[in-house]
Each structure stands twice: as C-alpha cells, then as structure tokens.
Amino acid sequence: MSVADYMTPRLVVVSPKTTISVAVELMKKNAIHRLPVMAGNRMVGLITHGIIQRAMPSQATSLSVYELNYLLTYLLRRRWIKSWKRRFKLSQQPLS
C-alpha cells in the first residue's frame, strides 16, 4: 500500500496573490479544506479552511450594512433617551 493509492489525483492549488474569497470558493467547489500555495513550480505554503475562519471577523461583524446601521441607530437612540431622561429627571407618567 502506498500514498499513491490514497492521494488526490487532481491537485487544486492557489498562488500567493489569490484572494481569500477565491480560495474559499475553490475549497467549497472541490469539497476540500486545504490548498497548497504555489509560486511557479515551488510550493511556498498551505492555506487551510481553519486558518481562514480564524482570520475572518466574527458573525456579529458580518452583518449587512443595513443591519449594522439599524442596530447602531437603535442602541444609540436608547442610550441617548436614557441619558436625557436621567438628566432632566423626567417620569414615564403622562402630563395631566
């Protein structure tokens, strides 16, 4: 039994200038988790799905621009209202 019996016959590689989004797409398309990084005929590194995941922002920062805008506006508005109420000591009761 040899490595040739288990190796991937068609190697998918990237160059050092390949964007992360292209690398991720290649991994998804080919159902792989590692890509050799080649400069000419020489392997200069290895990029893995795990390395990319650790380098990416968390899901909380992956919100769309509209979701971030809504969330920040909502939080800032609540903060401002609380501050304003505290400053002027307004009650929640309606005026009579």
How many angstroms separate the CA atoms of 15 and 24, rounded? 13
52 and 67 co-located in one domain: no
Q: Is the pLDDT of residue 29 over 90?
A: yes
Is 96 a domain residue?
no
Half-sphere exposure of 86 (CA within 13 A, CB side): 6
Number of domains composing the chain: 2
pTM of the full structure: 0.56
Q: Is the pLDDT of residue 75 over 80?
A: no
Instruction: Read off the pLDDT of residues 57-70 as tens digits, 9 standing for 90 and up.
Output: 666 666 677 776 77
51 and 86 co-located in one domain: no
Which residues, including other chains, have CB under 8 Å from residue 49's CB and lie 6 or more apart?
A: 24, 27, 33, 34
Is 43 a domain residue?
yes
85 and 43 co-located in one domain: no
Q: Give me the pLDDT at residue 56, please.
A: 73
| Token couple for 57 | 């922002």
Domain of residue 4: give its range: 1-56
CATH number at residue 4: 3.10.580.10
How many angstroms separate the CA atoms of 81 and 8, rounded? 61
Q: What percent of the chain has pLDDT over 90?
A: 41
